[in-house]
Amino acid sequence: MKSEFAIILFLTTVIFYNNSIGHVTNSTKTSIDSLIEVIMKETGIVGIGASLIVDKEVVWTKGYGYADNENKIPFTPTTIMNIASISKTFTGVCIMKAVEDGKVSLDEDINRYLPFKVINPNCPNDKITLRHLATHTSGLVDRHPIYSEHYFYDGKKPEPLGEFLKSYFVQGGKNYSNDNFLNAKPGENRAYSNIGAGLAGYIVELQTGMKLNDYAKKNIFKPLKMSNTGWALSEIKIENHSKLYRKKGDNIEQIQFYELTTYPDGGVRTSVSELSKFFISLLNDGKYKNTRILKSETVEEMLRFQYTETNSPENVNIKKLNQGIFWATKLGATRIGHNGSDPGVRTFMLSDLTKEIGVIIFFNTELNDENEGKFFDIYEELYKYGEGLKTKQPAANSVYKN
């Protein structure tokens, strides 16, 4: 990731109020509005939604630009969008719920759960576990273009997840190759694997007897009243879904909606407003307001840094990178949570290490490499803005309610 955090934001006084749909918004234009609007104009970003979480409460949320550029439909905190790899945190919660219910173990050989064998030909006698999959140390890797070919556009339906995984990991399958595996034992090397995340989600499905979307709906979406969140286009209100865009040269082109075979790695669609509830529950030991989705000790294990001085991958410096269960440090180990990137999508769900300041941002536009750093600039400025709001938090608690 490349970004230079060069802009210094002067925080101005902000007046907040609860509007009719329950979101806290600015009543006057502020310097953060001006900064974001300047970057949007410079880069061509079409729409942005964001929220700031201070001490486990949403204290600010707002949308900028458009969810539909052609029809000038505003992007708001309730606009739905696919969130790319932030979806892995939902898969992580599903895994941990299955652990709570005794359906799976983080440290059991995954072949105990599968109808086919996943064996790394470079170390055939070493077991791979859910913990390995969820910390990207399984030795299973994404091979391109195979992985990227399993995005399906224009209403085409993906290949069933189990069939794809079998073809990819079982010798003789149409997508099998030794290049699908690292020449390293499980735990020895960190290699970010979307297909590994797909495999983890598939194991949850097999062991719970429920599709991942239904399992998440039962244990996450319904309890948190995330009624506009789902794992497929058919599960959400398509009219509330943002269109997706790509900056190409000087032009902005629209990208068709898509779904992917390995949906546990990136298929969730939600809004800034609803994702804020989920993020707060993880930052708050599994609880959002009066609703608990996981036991506190289960969340502690999910978010615990799994790499230690004596037990970490050979290619990881734990002072710069660490990993929970589909949860990671970012920005030089100064933040925790997850990012996401997919065609037409860039998303952030990150908190400081103390879990006091959280930032969620959705961008519905894919930028070129030259402008990629602007996403991080906006994130960093919103984080600074959140720091400023935290200094006013004693007074805010009586006003800024989500």
pLDDT of the residue at 369: 87
What are 144's two structure tokens? 């391109």
**Helices then strands, each counted (H, E), the chain:** 10, 18
Residue 52 is predicted with a pLDDT of: 98
Rounded Cα distance between 123 and 110, Å, is 15
- Looking at the DSSP assignment, which residues form a beta bridge with residue 53? 58, 358
> For 244-274, how does the pLDDT look when each residue is reduced to its tens digit (9 = 90+)?
999 998 899 999 999 999 999 999 999 999 9
- State the 10-residue block means of pLDDT for the chain, 402 residues long: 32 29 46 94 97 97 98 98 98 98 98 98 98 98 96 92 98 98 97 98 98 98 98 94 95 96 97 98 97 98 96 95 96 96 98 97 95 95 93 49 34
Q: What pLDDT, on a 0 to 100 scale, did the predictor assign at position 349?
A: 98
Helix (H), strand (E) at residue 164: helix 161-169
Say what the pTM is: 0.90
What per-residue confidence (pLDDT) applies to 212? 97
Which domains can be identified in the chain, with CATH numbers?
A: 16-396 (3.40.710.10)
Asked whether the bond before 145 is cis by omega within 30 degrees of 0, the reply is: yes
pLDDT score of 151: 96
Q: Looking at residue 392, what is its pLDDT?
A: 72
Q: Is-contact 88 265, C-beta < 8 A?
A: yes
Treating both helix axes as pointing N-terminal to C-terminal, what angle do 373-391 and 31-43 enclose, rounded to 10 degrees? 170
